[in-house]
Structure 1
Amino acid sequence: MTNPTDSFYRHLREWFTVFMPRQRGASPHTITACRHTWNMLLRYVAEIRGVPLERVTFSIIDRACIVEFLDHMRATRSWTGTTYNQRLACIRSFYRYAATAEPTLAIHLADVNGIPQLKIAATPTVRHLSTSAVAALLAAPDPTTKTGLRDQFFMILMYDVAARDAEMLALTVGDLDIRRLTIDLIGKGAKPRRLPITGETAAHYRRYTDAFHRDADPGDPLFFTIHGHQKTRMSDDNVGRFVRQHASSARESCAEIPKRVHPHMLRHSRAMHLYQAGMPLALITEWLGHVDPETTLIYAHADTEMKRQALARVGSGTTSPPAVPMWHDRDDIVRRLCGLTA
């Protein structure tokens, strides 16, 4: 008779190693996101529910357990409705695979399918930081320590290029070209894009690599932790932890920093600040690596301050146009960096 625990982990292993990469053709980012979801869920089962990992079965991770886990993460990690639904979809996908591979497990799939998704507003609110809040957050780490230097450079780079967490963690040492002031990112669907970085960011990169990558190979992970005397890519859990830590510290000098800050807010903040500076939404779409231009419209919907300022100009009779940004009528500037032209 098959051991229930062996059955659970066998299917989970095959889902990650065979089905996702080979049969479904999922991107590395999708597989990594699913892996993080299951790591968090199993940690919740072990630490909160007190079930040893060697005793986990399909019956243990039932509908009630999954709902409690998702609600717990919303409360402690400030998950949005979108994140909640994405994590639920990942869990459902595994149960769907398991039920296909072993039909007797269909009862567990039916149980999980009964978990409703959260309703999301048609125009979601974009949680972003003001420029002063970003400045306070980036100044919070102590760069005289190695950990502080790493944390500060990570947040500076993430904000500068509005990168996703997974894109940051996939970076290698050779992905930044400080001579040309560019960075190469691999986005969703393995879509590459090249973006500009500032001279200040390049200077931070030099200090960071002098401390962490003095004799590194260009293919080494840019951000790493040491496990078993080996460099392994840093986890998004670690990033979330130090961002929250520095946000708490920065809040003492900047009241504009909200109580709950997560890494993706740096991406949203940069995108919003580019939009406020006058960058066209079409170029922001390319900058962020969005496949669907409609996704970027959230910044236009969200920025009421720009609408208020426009209304004030009309009310005061001001007719002079705002300063023309450097990229006005020069789509080639960003399009060339995004790799859209030869």
Structure 2
Amino acid sequence: MKNLSPALPNILEGFFIERLMNQKRVSKETILSYRDTFRLLLQYAKRELGKTPSKLSFEDLDAPFICKFLNHLEEERHNTARTRNHRLAAIRSFFHYASFQEPQLSAHIQRVLAIPTKRYQKREIDFLTADEVDAILDAIDRSSWIGRRNYALISLAIHTGLRVSELINLCCSDVVLGGGVYVHCTGKGRKDRSMPLGKTVSKIIDNWLDERDSKPSAPLFPTRHGNKLSRDTVAYTLRKYVPWLNSIVHLFQESV
């Protein structure tokens, strides 16, 4: 088999630009997740093989090496089996794309595609009781702007069950107040959906919008500087107010 070092970076670039961005038009979150997977893979290859990305060939990224990388994620980086499977899904997607670009490598690619996902015990999702909801919201100090933002954000999260990615991507215009009160979002797989709001949470969001008094395209829940919140900030906020974070683990059930 000839050395294909020059082809690997080119196909990797084509995978992200042509396949993911132009053809599939995947979400920004998916792009970032796939980017992180290959960043970790290339760093591992540099450590284990002593080769920079420009020197790697498809021969280097064979099935045994990919399996070692997946074990590295679990054993050294302490990733869960769920995260390991997400990383494997990104790698499989790349090799599936590569099979059409380099058909002479079909046997090599098929061995990578045959790597199985790992089974794991799915954690049962708990839900909050009414008393727990009240305890969380009562713990938020609403005397500050940040406190009122957090109060509105957590209230909306609890009452709608929106994913974190959906919450942080909401704009002011996504909240519709009037005859039928609801919040509109673009969720997983770029699917649009609308969630109705009850009277209590509607009032909270209405008050928050009055205080925001910003452009329709502005983030509904911004940082101090008006930027979109990060997932880490939301996680920190929840841990601050919710000592039993596993009770709202459904907020973090994000698929890549």
Q: Same fold (TM over 0.5)?
A: yes
Is contact 1:175–1:185 with CA below 8 Å preserved after alignment? yes
Partner in structure 2 of residue 265 of structure 1: 250
Higher relative contact order (CA 8 A, sep 6+): 2
Partner in structure 1 of residue 234 of structure 2: 239
Is contact 1:63–1:111 with CA below 8 Å preserved after alignment? no
Is contact 1:164–1:264 with CA below 8 Å preserved after alignment? no
TM-score (ref. length: structure 1): 0.53
Distance (whole Å) between structure 2 residues aligned to residue 5 and residue 222 of structure 1: 45
Is contact 1:136–1:250 with CA below 8 Å preserved after alignment? no
Task: Name the amino acid aligned to 2:20.
Answer: M
Quote the offset at 1:92 in angstroms: 1.7
Is contact 2:222–2:229 with CA below 8 Å preserved after alignment? yes
Distance (whole Å) between structure 1 residues aligned to residue 137 and residue 76 of structure 2: 28
Distance 1:14 1:223, change over 3 A: farther
SS of the aligned residue for 1:163 comes to coil
Partner in structure 2 of residue 316 of structure 1: none
Partner in structure 2 of residue 197 of structure 1: 197
Task: Name the amino acid aligned to 1:117.
Answer: T
TM-score (ref. length: structure 2): 0.66
SS of the aligned residue for 1:183 comes to strand
Task: Name the amino acid aligned to 1:239.
Answer: V
Partner in structure 1 of residue 17 of structure 2: 17
Is contact 1:158–1:267 with CA below 8 Å preserved after alignment? no
Distance 1:127 1:71, change over 3 A: farther
- Is residue 36 of structure 2 the alignment partner of residue 36 of structure 1? no
- Is residue 77 of structure 2 the alignment partner of residue 92 of structure 1? no
Partner in structure 2 of residue 130 of structure 1: 128
Quote the offset at 1:176 in angstroms: 0.7
Distance 1:144 1:84, change over 3 A: farther
Is contact 1:151–1:242 with CA below 8 Å preserved after alignment? yes
Q: Structure 2: where are the runs of 5+ without partners?
A: none
Query: Superposed, which structure 2 residues align to 1:219-234 within 5 Å?
Result: 219-224=217-222, 231=227, 233-234=228-229
- RMSD of aligned Cα (Å): 4.3
Distance (whole Å) between structure 1 residues aligned to residue 8 and residue 226 of structure 2: 31
Q: How many pairs were matched up?
A: 239
Distance (whole Å) between structure 2 residues aligned to residue 6 and residue 225 of structure 1: 42
Task: Name the amino acid aligned to 1:39.
Answer: D
1:250 to 224, 242, 256: 242
Distance 1:44 1:138, change over 3 A: farther
Is contact 1:165–1:264 with CA below 8 Å preserved after alignment? no
Query: Superposed, which structure 2 residues align to 1:141-156 within 5 Å?
Result: 141-156=140-155
Distance (whole Å) between structure 1 residues aligned to residue 143 and residue 105 of structure 2: 54
Query: Superposed, which structure 2 residues align to 1:73-88 within 5 Å?
Result: 75=78, 81=82, 84-88=84-88
Partner in structure 2 of residue 186 of structure 1: 186
Bigger shift: residues 112-121 or 193-202: 112-121
Deviations 1:31-57 (A, max 9, x none): 52342343366369769x989xxx556
Is contact 1:142–1:149 with CA below 8 Å preserved after alignment? yes
Is contact 2:20–2:31 with CA below 8 Å preserved after alignment? no
Distance (whole Å) between structure 1 residues aligned to residue 219 and residue 53 of structure 2: 33
Q: Structure 1: where are the runs of 5+ without partners?
A: 252-256, 269-342
Partner in structure 1 of residue 165 of structure 2: 166
Task: Name the amino acid aligned to 2:162.
Answer: A
Is contact 2:160–2:195 with CA below 8 Å preserved after alignment? yes
- Is residue 96 of structure 2 the alignment partner of residue 101 of structure 1? no
Partner in structure 1 of residue 70 of structure 2: 66
Distance (whole Å) between structure 1 residues aligned to residue 76 and residue 209 of structure 2: 38
Quote the offset at 1:72 in angstroms: 6.2
Task: Name the amino acid aligned to 2:128.
Answer: S
Distance 1:193 1:64, change over 3 A: same
Distance 1:145 1:36, change over 3 A: farther
SS of the aligned residue for 1:184 comes to strand
Distance (whole Å) between structure 1 residues aligned to residue 108 and residue 226 of structure 2: 39
Is contact 1:164–1:267 with CA below 8 Å preserved after alignment? yes
Distance 1:234 1:18, change over 3 A: farther
SS of the aligned residue for 2:193 comes to strand
Distance 1:176 1:50, change over 3 A: farther
SS of the aligned residue for 2:14 comes to helix
Distance 1:13 1:153, change over 3 A: farther
Deviations 1:96-136 (A, max 9, x none): 32453346877884674464312256xx5532133144444
Is contact 1:159–1:267 with CA below 8 Å preserved after alignment? no
